[in-house]
Structure 1
């Protein structure tokens, strides 16, 4: 488990409790509980609506033969946002609404795309995808030269064939 996930699992609940206590001191205990319940109900309704939209867009893209990149990222953002919205607390709800609402999701999608491309570049940067063994001065961004039409004279020897 990466260190930032472990840190988030420790910090987020403490932050949520702190924010809930602070809001409870300002507006009172019962109004805070009511606000959390209303927020959860609104989040569940939005998740249902946006999840259905994302699913329909994904099915439509697959039926038309279009590569569903945007639709898959929207579905992933709705899934993560829905999980955050169903988690009790105000901080996770802010991020959940940011991922789920249709007018903020494009911003989250660009962030997700930038994160994934950076991550893939880091992971695949040292991988040789050309099929040729690495050589001194090898640049993975260059394309291999096509074979020439030169004919090399020789004899093929099959080691399995007995004389």
Structure 2
């Protein structure tokens, strides 16, 4: 099983540059085609509106999550927030295809299906820092005290002491330090 995952990952690394180039060419073609229909000024205004809408969606989702954490309530789900933030990021990326994908992420039926994506995939993806920050915010009480609990290492051994300061490992991602 593990060998097939390695083969899939290497195939993805091989074809990822080709997929990115195809995506960029498709987006450019869409922008030019829409600009021929409605004009360049309106296209620029639509792209700017998509950026502003995406920033607004991300800000609202973040404020809602922080307000829920401050009140001591569990947010309705970190998966829902992650899907909303992903929709906002897609809206902010210039292009009409990404705008459509971002709007799809914000539609409740589609968002509900996307919430089923395992959080482990989100932690490793481009939203990993946002998901980890949200988890850290939820670990603290509204008065700033750390929620008591036991920390379990990846190998399954518990520890009594834990330092919540961050460090950067060789891969550049922050991890909690013992």
Normalising by structure 1, we get a TM-score of 0.53
Higher alpha-carbon deviation: 1-10 or 37-46: 1-10
> Runs of 5+ in structure 1 lacking a partner?
117-163
CA 1:55–1:105 in structure 2 vs 1: closer, same or farther (change >3 Å)? farther
Q: Which one has a larger percent strand, Structure 1 or Structure 2?
A: 2
- Indicate if the aligned counterparts of 2:88 and 2:102 stay in contact, CA closer than 8 A: yes
State whether structure 2 residue 52 is matched by structure 1 residue 41.
yes
**Which of 22, 28, 33 in structure 2 is aligned with 1:11?**
22
Q: Report how far residue 98 of structure 1 moved.
A: 2.0
Match of 1:95 in 2: 101
Give the paired residue count. 111
Q: Report how far residue 102 of structure 1 moved.
A: 4.8
Matched position secondary structure for 2:94: coil
Pairing 1:3-152 to 2, within 5 Å after superposition? 3=13, 5-57=16-68, 59=69, 63=72, 71-102=77-108, 104-110=110-116, 112-113=117-118
Q: Report how far residue 103 of structure 1 moved.
A: 5.8
> Runs of 5+ in structure 2 lacking a partner?
1-8, 122-178
Q: Report how far residue 56 of structure 1 moved.
A: 4.2
CA 1:76–1:49 in structure 2 vs 1: closer, same or farther (change >3 Å)? same
Normalising by structure 2, we get a TM-score of 0.49
Query: C-alpha root-mean-square deviation of aligned residues, in Å?
Result: 3.2
Match of 2:156 in 1: none
Q: Report how far residue 60 of structure 1 moved.
A: 7.5
**What is the CA deviation profile of residues 8-29 of structure 1, one whole-angstrom value per residue up to 9, with x for unaligned ones?**
3222111110110110011111
Higher alpha-carbon deviation: 33-42 or 101-110: 101-110
Tell me which structure has the larger Cα radius of gyration.
Answer: 1
Higher relative contact order (CA 8 A, sep 6+): 1
